[in-house]
Amino acid sequence: MTAGSDSVLELLPKVFAAPGEALAGAERVLGADPPPLHASVAHQVIGIWQRDFGDMRLALDHLRRARDLAARADSAEREADVLGTLGVALVHAGRTRQGLAAFERGIARGAGHTRARVLYRRAYVWWVLGHHREALEDVRRAIPVLRQADDVIWTARALTLRATVHLALGAVERADADFTAAEALWETTGQEHDKADAVESRGLAAFRSGDIPAALRLLDEAEERYAKLGTPTFMLDIRRCEVLMAAGLAPEALAEADAAIGVLDEIGGQSTRKAELLLVAARA
């Protein structure tokens, strides 16, 4: 990678630090007739933004273009990284088989640090799909490599994910230890969206521990952080609905789910999140 490539690559972590700035920066790169490698990064940035905050159809289009441009640039590491991002998007779009195939190709194409990031993303998808043991296996393979590479951002993400999986398996103490370690790393970064996600995860931990008031307080704090960034909060909406239901506030949970579904339909967002919200609404 050249110095110019490094400056373009800085847009990737910025998606979860300053999402709007990252999107604008990627669009500027594409407007300057960039070489395939730089264009691949820019399309990946836009694809991530659309995947998590916007229209899934646009996300898939940009991520496929990013993958093809990486192949044209003959960069196996770049292609592997994009395949990991594309795998997440495909699963969230309801195309699980295609998504898992993208991960297999990404793991085969990447090495070392890049492969660890792809493993982390597949671990996240296993968690989304409810395959917790597989999620733990992948994230445990990823964490030592990410630490060795001194990659603070991805190590913190991996620890946060492992904590979330531990919660799903009922291992609250292990989850708390990982959340604490992740928070210490996040405080050394400017990853504001990731930090909001960490607060949201703490809210989930409080809920799993039976402290509903603390859970609602932490979810409210996370929502305020997301609002400052102008990003949607669909996973938080799902978690708040769960907490409200546990508190016996079914009408409030139903209203929350209905409002979130309306926004999700309007922007063409993740089908997996819509399915979860519909399930919450049905239970309310």
Q: What is the pLDDT of residue 271?
A: 65
282 against 93, higher pLDDT? 93
Where are the domains positioned within the chain?
113-189
pLDDT higher than 80, residue 284: no
Contact call for residues 66 and 41 (beta carbons, < 8 A): yes
Architecture in CATH of 113-189: Alpha Horseshoe (1.25)
C-alpha dihedral (51, 17, 178, 115), degrees to nearest 10:
60
Cβ–Cβ under 8 Å, residues 45 and 8: no
For residue range 135-186, what is the model confidence (pLDDT) as tens digits? 999 999 999 999 999 999 999 999 999 999 998 899 988 998 999 999 899 9
For tokens 């690559």, the residue is 9
Nearest CA-CA partner of 198 in 167, 161, 232: 161
Give the 3-state secondary structure of residue 229.
helix
- Percent of the chain's residues with pLDDT above 70: 92
145-151, long-range: CB < 8 A, 24+ apart: 145/112, 145/113, 145/115, 145/116, 146/113, 146/116, 146/117, 146/120, 149/112, 149/113, 149/116, 151/113
Mean pLDDT of the chain: 90
Structure-model confidence comparison of residues 52 and 25, the more confident one: 25
16: left (phi over 0), alpha (psi -120 to 50) or beta: alpha
pLDDT of residue 27: 96
Which residue type does 155 have? T
Q: What is the pLDDT of residue 106?
A: 97
Tell me what the mean pLDDT of segment 18-35 comes to.
94
* 0.95 exceeded by pTM: no
